[in-house]
Amino acid sequence: MNSTAVIGNNVNLSQFTTIGSNSENAATVGNNVYIGPSVCIVENVQIGSNVTIGAGSVVIKDIPDNATAVGNYARVVNYSNPGKFIVNRWSIE
């Protein structure tokens, strides 16, 4: 993980996850996010809150709030039931 990455509350980073950057700041990850195994998040992208990123995905573009993204290169596949693997959600009160 790059030292410039910003990680929100209640983020599940699975094994072999890489958050890196070669030139700028690394990614910003929101709250209540599940990042599957072997995911690579490259350069200065924004990952919204309540997001699920599927195993083996390569994220090179921003992922909006409440989305599920998968693939190489990652793309949003739906907005239904994102973050379903986050059991103890964190919220601002």
Q: What is the pLDDT of residues 21-67, one digit of tens each?
A: 988 899 999 999 999 999 999 999 999 999 999 999 999 999 999 99
Total number of domains constituting the chain: 1
Q: For the domain that residue 38 is a member of, what is the CATH number?
A: 2.160.10.10
pLDDT attached to residue 80: 79
Q: What is the pTM for the complete model shown?
A: 0.84
Residue 71 has pLDDT above 90, yes or no: yes
- Mean pLDDT on 5-15: 92
> Is 35 a domain residue?
yes
Which residues, 6 or more positions from 50, have their beta carbon under 8 angstroms from its beta carbon? 30, 31, 32, 33, 65, 66, 82, 83, 86
> Is 10 a domain residue?
yes
> Is 93 a domain residue?
no
Q: Could you count the other beta carbons within 10 Å of the beta carbon of residue 14?
A: 14
What residues make up the domain containing 74?
A: 6-78
> Is 90 a domain residue?
no
- Mean pLDDT on 66-82: 89
pLDDT attached to residue 85: 65
